[in-house]
Amino acid sequence: MKVFEPASIGSITMSNHFIRSATAEGLATSQGFCSAALTTFMVRLAKGGIGLIITGHMAVSSEGRASERQLCIWHDDYLPALMDMTRQVHEAGGKIVAQISHAGIFANTSLTGEAAMGPTVRRQSDSTICREMTSIDIRRTVKAFASASYLVKEAGFDGVQIHAAHGYLLSSFLSPHYNSRNDEYGGTAENRSRFLLEVVQAVRASTGNNFPVLVKMNANDFLENGMGIDDMIYTAAAMEAAGVTAAVHL
């Protein structure tokens, strides 16, 4: 069967077609460092025959954390434990890609100490649940993704996946359900894709032309006035032109 034959994604050559999709493991330390338990878990996946492992999403900045036991990757201090994990996965015959993200409107404010932010102010029962990102916020976040992707490469991962699904920050900009901005980041599919494309371009510049850059995004977010297939097709084509190695649509 072809699923057991070698496969490749860009420069990643896998022993088979089995890919472990990113799932939040909740095994990092409370400070976001890779733990021995998480390393053991990843090595077990590799030894079990998974051709490519994609980690649970790693926060690219302190204000973008979704949960306490989430991996973080905005500082060099995180590298030693991550380097040990990638080394052990490779020794077990596996390949591993790091997924990076910003939680956006789903950021855990009790952890971050800051208001959550997204494309547009959102309120519930007259209580603001997130603030609208400014152009400065957007530029800073683009740089955070670029910096995180550089650290991913330094840590020995085989590629990086940008998380633009499930309502997190980049996903919320793509969806008209969340995004009602009137500037260059809202309105048309082109404008709603702009933030993600700026992230892709910055990540590509940070990692070089040969490092695999993947994107995870929704094909349909199943929300009223949400992102649909036509929007996804436009965004996927734009990402391909920007240098994305592969996109996963959910």
For the chain, percent helix, then strand, then coil, each to nearest 5?
40, 20, 40
The whole-number pLDDT of residue 124 equals 63
What's the whole-number mean pLDDT along residues 24-52? 97
The whole-number pLDDT of residue 122 equals 85
Task: Find the domain containing 65 and state its range.
Answer: 2-249
CATH at 219: 3.20.20.70
> Per the structure, how many domains does the chain have?
1
Distance between CA atoms of residues 100 and 233, nearest Å: 22
pLDDT band at 1 (very low <50, low <70, confident <90, very high): low
Residue 249 pLDDT more than 70? no
- Say what angle helices 189-207 and 229-241 make with each other, to 10 degrees: 30
Q: What is the pTM assigned to this prediction?
A: 0.95
What are 136-179's pLDDT values in tens digits?
Answer: 999 999 999 999 999 999 999 999 999 999 999 999 999 999 99
Distance between CA atoms of residues 225 and 176, nearest Å: 6
Instruction: Tell me how far the alpha carbon of residue 212 is from its chain's centroid.
Output: 13
